[in-house]
Amino acid sequence: MAHPAASDPGDLVAAVLAIAREAGDSILDVYRAGFDVDLKADGSPLTAADLASHHCLSGGLRGLDARVPVLSEEDGLPAFAVRQQWSRYWLIDPLDGTKEFVQRNGDFTVNVALIEMGAPVLGVVHAPVRGTSWFAAAGAGAWKQQVHEDPVPIATAPMSGRPAGAAMRIVASRNHRGAAVDALLERLPHATSLSVGSSLKLCMVAEGAADLYPRLGPTSEWDTAAGQCVVEQAGGAVTTVDLEPLRYNTKDGILNPHFVVVGDMSFDWGQYLPGAE
């Protein structure tokens, strides 16, 4: 019998969704009980919830097929010479938005992506406090599911056909907005902006609740991969400011270039992006 991870990514969605929700429950256990905050070497926060989710995800995903590597924010980064050999691997952020977790605002997620040849082909984003999951797989569309409810298909919003003067809806990072994003917003003809944490911003574009998410500052690959799959399968795109698709595992480091998340790919976003960096 073939291993599950050797089959179509869509066949894995239900299992990965269950693992992500279990990880989310482990986060909520810590969230409700209280926690201490440590600092990593780079100064970013670390809690028992990050580690509990990491162990849950790592164990669960390896249980699907032990041959598929798991790359987690809470593990050491293997050398690129090793990672170059990976044609397929799991890329996870056990707790995306630890600052949001520490601030207790609920805007944090569990991110799980399956990467094949540099592209995300399966993505699950689970928001434990909200009880909401967004998930997608190549060729299977994008979906949103509230706990105890049936999943519903989602799609990005077109820019055409709107009332005259309707504002572009921009979503930006709550803790990492920066002057470059402010400058971009000033170039847009008429826009409203909302600040949200974690990969919820990608999910808002995917479900048509926002038109553009610009990220003109540092992120890591595990921050974006799961949400990128959801956005792409919902009809949008995640690109560099030069409008090239964001790719994974192509270099020694794990940092992403500056990027934008757009819902309507037919709209001329490039007219606003030059000089954005």
Q: Is 264 annotated as a binding residue?
A: no
- Of 146, 119, 152, 130, which Cα lies nearest the Cα of 234? 152
Round to whole Å and give the CA distance between 220 and 236. Answer: 20
Q: Flag whether 76 is marked binding.
A: no
Beta bridge partners of 115: 89, 120
Tokens found for residue 156: 């990005």
98 assigned ligand-binding residue = yes
- Is 93 annotated as belonging to a binding site? yes
User: Which spans in the chain are helix H?
Assistant: 13-33, 48-64, 80-83, 98-103, 179-187, 200-206, 221-233
> 150 a known binding residue?
no
In sequence order, what are the beta bridge partners of 220? 255
223 is annotated as contributing to ligand binding: yes
Closest CA relative to residue 271, chosen from 212, 195, 206: 212
CA 49 to chain centre: 18
Residue ranges for the known binding site for Mg(2+) are 73, 93, 95-96, 223
Residue ranges for the known binding site for substrate are 73, 95-98, 223
Residue ranges for the known binding site are 73, 93, 95-98, 223
